[in-house]
Structure 1
Amino acid sequence: MRPTTPPSVEDILEMAEDALAAIPEELRRMVQGAAIIVEDVAEEDVVEAMGLDSPWELTGLYRGVPLTAKSSLDAPSEPDTIHLYREPILLEWIETGEDLFRLVRNVLIHEIGHHFGLSDEDIARLEGD
């Protein structure tokens, strides 16, 4: 039975944290320090920078320096963040009928893939395997 009210930002964050806790510890350690941020939709400047027509097209975004590009000699920069966008996730949930936790987990894992330096094409290939 589906809830009668849309899941809140806090609900989506809790699902993301549960999904993160379920990934293998070795991978979880490599993501340690990356903040998970849940917002309703991406900001307009993010949508424009990504060349998208609408914030509804973006369910998640990794911001930071991928592990493959980091060096111990680098000066500290802003922390890595994984943004999950609640309203586009909920729209996909409604349109596909997919389990919401599974959908949140998939978006989170996709963005973690970017943290590891994988492209969208690499991630799609892995998801297809």
Structure 2
Amino acid sequence: MSGLAEARAPSLSEIEALAEDAFARLPDEFRALCTGVRIVVDDFPDDETLAEMGCESEFDLLGLFRGIGLAQSGEVSTGQMPNAVWLYRRPLLDYWAEHDETLGHLVTHVLVHEIGHHVGLSDDDMARIEASSDLG
């Protein structure tokens, strides 16, 4: 019980490390489609993102892909922010506390789902990729 007494919520950098580990475990062909995609971890989405996504609470969004996805085949314009997957620590931790899965599995799931939007994959494709990872 002493370990629990000293336990604390994972930090932004610890969630980022989980995401980097999850990404490294994904199939090579999937990761090859993600050239230039950054993984960014923040506590919550900003107010603009919450409004844009129609969220009622700052806990409604676990992650989000921002940028021009491969599925849209858009050209990068000058001044455009780089493609990024945003993972939101506090909503992830809240979801994790209420469900029976590991934090590593949850981070993997959200990461694959958001990158899947970038590359235009179906839900079935994303489920197969997630299942093929060591954490899936």
TM (norm. structure 2) is 0.82
User: Does structure 1 residue 45 correspond to structure 2 residue 40?
Assistant: no
Q: Which one of the candidate residues 18, 21, 30 is aligned to 2:21? A: 18
* CA 29–90 in structure 1, closer or farther in 2 if over 3 Å, else same: same
CA distance in 2 between counterparts of 1:17 and 1:92 reads 20
The CA RMSD measured in Å over matched residues stands at 2.3
Candidates 67, 72, 84, aligned match of 1:69: 72
Letter of the structure 1 residue corresponding to residue 42 of structure 2: E
Alignment correspondent of 2:104: 101
List structure 1 runs of 4+ shifted beyond 2 angstroms: 73-78, 122-128
Amino acid at match of 2:109: N
**Alpha-carbon deviations, 1:5-29, whole Å to 9, x = none?**
0000001000000010011111111
1:57 is paired with a residue of what secondary structure? coil
Q: Distance in 2 between matches of 1:89 and 1:66?
A: 23
Distance 2:90 2:124 in 1: 23
Q: 2:126 & 2:31 partners in 1: Cα distance?
A: 18
SS class of match (2:87): strand
Aligned residues: 125
One-letter identity of the residue aligned with 2:35 = Q
